[in-house]
Amino acid sequence: MNFDVSFLPKAEIEYIKAYKWYEEQLEGLGERFSMAVEKQLNKIVKNPYHYPLKKRNCQECKIQLFPYIIVYKVYSDANNIVIISVFHTSRNPKMKYRK
């Protein structure tokens, strides 16, 4: 089954801000962050139910080498995966699931 991936506007903003912050710290680091996110998104698309269910029927996938997780929901009837948040792990965990 092929799934489409879409980002909530908040998640897209988080992703872009993180990319820009890493790029400001060191040229090319933002690109490495982006590649790490894409790698995990590909894993999610291939096997969206691999990661355990958490609060509010969301699942979480850690981004390797960076202190971020991807919070997402699977809508199997629509073949869609919605990215709820690209969440920095130092933030208040209660904020992960807010849309």
Report pLDDT digits (tens) over 48-76: 999 989 988 999 999 999 999 999 999 99
Dihedral sign of CA atoms 19, 24, 25, 27 in order: positive
| 77 vs 18: CA distance, rounded Å | 31
Rg of the chain on CA atoms, in Å: 13
Report pLDDT digits (tens) over 6-47: 999 999 999 999 999 999 999 999 999 999 999 999 999 999
User: Which CATH number fits the domain that encloses residue 32?
Assistant: 3.30.2310.20
| 61 close to 51: Cβ distance less than 8 angstroms | yes
Count of domains for the chain? 1
With a cut of 80, say whether residue 94 has pLDDT above it.
no
Residue range of the domain that includes 86: 4-97
pTM comes to: 0.91
